[in-house]
A and B are shown apart, each in its own frame.
Chain A
Amino acid sequence: MEWYSIDTWIVVIAALAAGACALLGNFLVLRKMSMMGDAISHAVLPGLAIAFIVTGARASLSMFIGAAIAGVLTAVFTQWISRFGKVDEGASMGIVFTTLFALGLLLIVQGADHVDLDPSCVLYGAIELTPLDVVWRPTLFGLSIEVPRTALVLAGVTLFNAVFVVAFFKELRISSFDAELATTMGIDSKLMHYLLMTLVAVTTVACFESVGSIIVIAMLIVPAATAHLLTDRLWLMVVLSVLIAIGSAALGHMSALTVPAWFGFADTSTSGMMAVMAGLIFSTVMLFAPKYGVLQRFVKRTQAVK
């Protein structure tokens, strides 16, 4: 395996994206809203497209705002349709995000066709190219480091999410566990819900162009679900989920470089491999987790029978 500084940056960027998603993912998983991440990550597309058409530029800020609005609207519409249309919440979510996603695709194809907002780039990302866009060259210990723009943006988003989770830890915990009690105490669960949805939308957009939506969805759900099998403590679950996300990113890139060669192929998509790694880690944990693993529970049950 040949390792260049570009590989280090790919791993750093992927790890930042994965960590940002995993932080929020814990609360999606615990609120039984895992698929909301999926829905929002698709539904932000029209927000991106409209922001792009209105401003005519791929300026990050307007894109963020457009996406955040679209993301929150997804959550709001989902609530409305399930409440007023008497439709099951899952179905209502499916209706909202497919419609918004399709609308976004149409807008991009029709309105923004002549410019470089590429639907496939939104879906798969282009992490292999992101390290080339260097915006900052600090010197550290005599080494000159070339920091890509994406790394800075994602570091900002990750830091913001981390601050959010730490600052609102108590509020997130109670509103995720017992939304009604929280609301009666003046910790408005709906407000927490929409704050979380907004952050998911913004995070999704920040991660799109680098790692693509496949890995965003995977990292919102898989590390958190894995961590839940490993601990009974919420804060530890959050920490573990971030570590698992970073681990998947690093292992994913290394495997993308090495594994295909074993079968005589050239290297493969890093994003794809990262999501696969997250899935593998989950399966391993599901089987071998010390307390909630399938094997452990099997052993316990057979012992109980004896």
Chain B
Amino acid sequence: MQIEETAIACKSPPLTIRDLTVAYHRKPVIWDIDLSIPEGKLVSIVGPNGAGKSTLIKACLDLIPRTSGEINIYGQSYKKMRNRVGYVPQRETVDWDFPVSALDVVAMGTYGKLGWFRRVSKRSKALSMEALERVGLADYAHRQISQLSGGQQQRTFLARALVQDADIYFMDEPFAAVDAATERAIVELLKELQKRGKTVLVVHHDLATVPQYFDWTVLLNMRVVAAGPTDEVFTQENLRRTYGGKLTLLTQAANEVVQSR
């Protein structure tokens, strides 16, 4: 059994990217990306503003056209594997005045597997309620979403990802502008997902917490500067190569990181 599972994992890692280039208005945003993410890792995607982190995620999710290259999820095209993929978009991308409750938003995570025309069932409502409990928002289930704090909104999004019940997750800056309680809740959730064998890719900004939260790291600046276990690739030298000239601040951050180990 053990051998069989390993064999499958070897055959098709959760995410492989070959020669990926994406361009807007003919200007490449990410260029010649080669990447293979092993199963069951918590992966941070780190890089300066405009490095193409969100673009990389959106290309993986088939949301934007690629100029060239190939992306495989568990060895197959996104279209075939979409039920195994979960997505947490940036919080600002949606209108929080939309007339839905936190529970409604979480239940949206089940829509993909429900299929067209099918109503949201009692079962998916119960699942959604459970997920809200897990992120500590059960009491807020019936609130309109603008009446949640920023951190609570982010946790609502995470609960929605939970009910998607995917095997690989893409999260776009879930830690952006959240309170300490939410940050802890998210980290716990990530570890739990990992325990259940899920692979999670997270666009992350706070360099200081990278080694603490993530066991794998992709350093990105248009190209992949380095990718691998955080211990190996998250070095001052690599950070300098990723962030280029704007490094005074980053040297400090990197020093902090090195010291914190």
Q: Quick one: which of A10-62 are within 8 Å of B by CB? A: 30, 32
A229 to B: closest C-beta gap in Å: 10
- Asked if residues B25 and A231 are in contact (CB atoms below 8 Å), the reply is no
Instruction: Judge if B105 is at the interface, Cβ distance under 8 Å.
Output: yes
B191 to chain A, nearest CB (A): 24
Residue of B nearest to A182 (CB): B111
Interface residue from B62, B108, B116 paired with A177 (Cβ < 8 Å): B108
Interface string of A135-169 (1 = CB under 8 A from B): 00000000000000000000000000000000110
Nearest CB of chain B from residue A47's CB, rounded to whole Å: 29
The size of the chain B interface, using a CB distance under 8 A, is 30
A228, CB-defined interface residue at 8 Å: yes
> Does any Cβ of B come within 8 Å of A306's Cβ?
no
Q: Does B12 contact A (CB under 8 A)?
A: no
Q: Which among B96-104, B179-187, B196-204, B211-219 touches the partner chain? A: B96-104
0/1 interface trace, chain B 73-113, chain A, CB 8 Å (1 if under): 00000010010010101000111001111001100100110
B105 CB contacts on chain A under 8 angstroms: 177
Contact B98 A180 (CB under 8 A): no
Partner of B95, one of A30, A86, A234: A30
A211 to B28, CA, bound (A): 51
Q: Does A264 contact B (CB under 8 A)?
A: no
A178: Cβ under 8 A from any B Cβ: yes
Contact A232 B99, CB 8 Å, known A86-B25, A181-B87, A184-B87: yes
Q: Are A170 and B98 in contact (CB under 8 A)?
A: no
Q: Taking A170-B119, A185-B82 as contacts, is the C-beta distance between A177 and B100 under 8 angstroms?
A: yes
- Chain B residues contacting A167 (CB-CB under 8 Å) are 117
Given A180-B89, A186-B82, A234 and B111 touching (CB < 8 A)? no
B144 at the interface (CB under 8 A from A): yes
| B98-A184 in contact (CB<8A) | no
Contact check: which of A170, A171, A184 meets B63 at CB < 8 Å? A184
**A-chain residues with CB within 8 Å of residue B58 when the two chains form the complex:** 180
Query: Does A233 reach chain B (CB closer than 8 Å)?
Result: yes
Known: A176-B98, A181-B108, A185-B112. A232 touches B144 (CB 8 A): yes
Contact (Cβ within 8 A) B114 A184: no
Contact flag A184-B93 (CB < 8 Å), given A174-B108, A177-B98: no
Say whether, besides A177-B95, A180-B93, A187 and B111 are in contact (CB < 8 Å).
yes
The residues of B that contact A30 with a CB separation of less than 8 Å are 95, 98-99
Is B111 touching A185 in the complex (CB atoms < 8 A)? yes
Residues of B within 8 A of A183 (CB): 62-63
Query: Could you tell me the distance between the alpha carbons of A304 and B21 in the complex, rounded to whole angstroms?
Result: 53
Verify if A122 is at the interface (C-beta below 8 Å from B).
no
User: Is A297 in contact with chain B by the CB < 8 A criterion?
Assistant: no
> Is B82 a contact of A184 with CB atoms below 8 Å?
yes
Task: Check if B99 sits within 8 Å of A174, measured CB to CB.
Answer: no
Specify which chain A residues have a CB less than 8 angstroms from the CB of B99 in the assembled complex: 30, 228, 231-234, 236-237
| Chain A residues in the interface with B (C-beta under 8 A) | 30, 32, 86, 167-168, 170-171, 173-174, 176-178, 180-187, 228, 231-234, 236-237
Report 9 cross-chain contacts, Cβ distance below 8 Å, ordered by A residue.
A30-B98, A30-B99, A168-B117, A170-B119, A180-B93, A184-B61, A184-B63, A186-B79, A232-B144
